[in-house]
Amino acid sequence: MKIALCNEVLQPMPFAMQCDFARQVGYDGLELAPFTFADEPHLMIPAERTAIRRAAREAGIEITGLHWLLLTPRGLSITSSDEAVRNRTIEVLMRLVDLCHDLGGRIMVHGSPAQRAIPPGDTREAALARAKDCFERVGNYAATAGVTYCIEPLARAETQLVNTVAEAAAIVDAIGSPGLRTMLDTSAAGRAESEPIPAVLDRWLPTGRIAHIQVNDTNRRGPGEGADRFAPVFAALKRNGYDGVVAVEPFKYLPDGQATAARAVGYIRGILESLDAAG
């Protein structure tokens, strides 16, 4: 498996420096938040895309994919009752699929809780139906680009739509698109799942529904900076033959993003070395 860092952790460091830093402290890749590049990242011109890809290549680091997709531009929603808003959102997402492909990424993570909120006065069922239509259209488009589009389950404090891997997997199964999968974020799963995270992985990884992993503590800091234990998580990934990307995505940086990023990858590499030594 490859270890990536979500690049917003290193903001406002210039992207080329982010690539150099991430590689030097031990990451294999960067998972990019589009809003860190532009207010309308889906409209980045070819020269800008080429420069991003070149910076990563020269640093010897991979661009693994995109996450935090709908923070910009403003006013997007996959659940809005306004069809024009939904169509604009789907168009932005399709252009982000193109961006992911152009940058060499293979995974997109659809979290964006504010942009999948249930509109006031609406029902969960109606909002979920609109979200499913979005996932189907974008998932099918992603398949043509060689990108896997992952529905991210989030804790109930963040959204009322899609809180568990089982709920996301049910959407994936109902749609049946080769470009659509789900993923697991350890912080969200630690707050939303009824089983321990290793048990969730043991249940779902063999089905092929989970295509990506993000790691952070339930306290929203980096792995190794709270009460959560990650050795059992990585042990579950290893015994299930997971060979994808594990992205580090903390939201609280103490004392700063660089220290958080370096501490996290050292902690994870230590766990992986111990598991390898144990056979």
pLDDT tier at 279, thresholds 50, 70, 90: confident
- Domain of residue 170: give its range: 2-278
DSSP H or E stretch at residue 251: none
Confidence (pTM):
0.97
Q: 234-267 pLDDT, tens per residue?
A: 999 999 999 999 999 999 999 999 999 999 999 9
Q: 163-177 pLDDT, tens per residue?
A: 999 999 999 999 999
How many whole angstroms separate alpha carbon 148 and alpha carbon 171? 15
In 3-state terms the chain splits into helix, strand, coil percentages (rounded to 5) of 50, 15, 35
Q: What is the CATH classification number for the domain harbouring 250?
A: 3.20.20.150
Into how many domains does the chain fold?
1
Tracing tokens 């809003």 back to the chain, one arrives at: 35
Dihedral sign for Cα atoms in the order 12, 15, 20, 24: positive
Q: How many other C-beta atoms can be found within 10 angstroms of the C-beta atom of residue 117?
A: 18
- Whether 95 has a pLDDT exceeding 90, the answer reads yes
